[in-house]
């Protein structure tokens, strides 16, 4: 089982997520300085690479653009989870870190 996690906003929270996943088979990606076309291409290429690698989790810091998520979901078969710290985002959750930790726990149970 593999999972792609796209995280919008909050550099410090993203850093904490990176720390939690260190030592695991994880691909870390950051699209911070990309325009929309560059971000989509980079994420798409990263997901393609990820599916062919021995990594189990891909954690990406991204802009939160809905069009990118919609297109990626339509083109890739991997499970894509989107979390946001931005209250104005469609992907916002009051406790994204808790959702992240719960997802990792479920992932661990499924891959044992």
76 SS3 class: coil
Instruction: Determine the structural domain holding residue 94 and report its residue range.
Output: 3-111
Percent of the chain scoring above 90 in pLDDT: 51
Q: Own/partner pairs for 31-35, CB < 8 Å, 24+ apart?
A: 31/60, 31/61, 31/62, 31/63, 32/61, 34/63
Q: How many domains does the chain have?
A: 1
Confidence of residue 11 (pLDDT cuts 50, 70, 90): low
Alpha helices in the chain (DSSP H): 11-21, 36-52, 66-75, 96-111
In CATH, what number is assigned to the domain containing residue 84? 3.40.50.11230
Confidence of residue 40 (pLDDT cuts 50, 70, 90): very high
Cα 79 to Cα 73: distance, rounded to the nearest angstrom: 8
């Amino acid at each position: 089982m593999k999972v792609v996690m796209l995280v919008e906003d909050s550099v410090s929270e993203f850093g904490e997520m990176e720390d939690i996943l260190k030592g695991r088979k994880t691909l870390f990606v950051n699209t911070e300085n990309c325009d929309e076309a560059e971000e989509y291409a980079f994420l798409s290429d990263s997901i393609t690479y990820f599916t062919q690698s021995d990594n189990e989790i891909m954690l990406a810091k991204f802009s939160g653009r809905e069009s990118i998520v919609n297109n990626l979901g339509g083109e890739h078969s991997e499970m894509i989870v989107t979390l946001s710290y931005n209250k104005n985002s469609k992907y916002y959750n009051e406790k994204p870190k808790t959702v992240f930790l719960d997802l990792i726990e479920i992932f661990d149970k499924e891959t044992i």
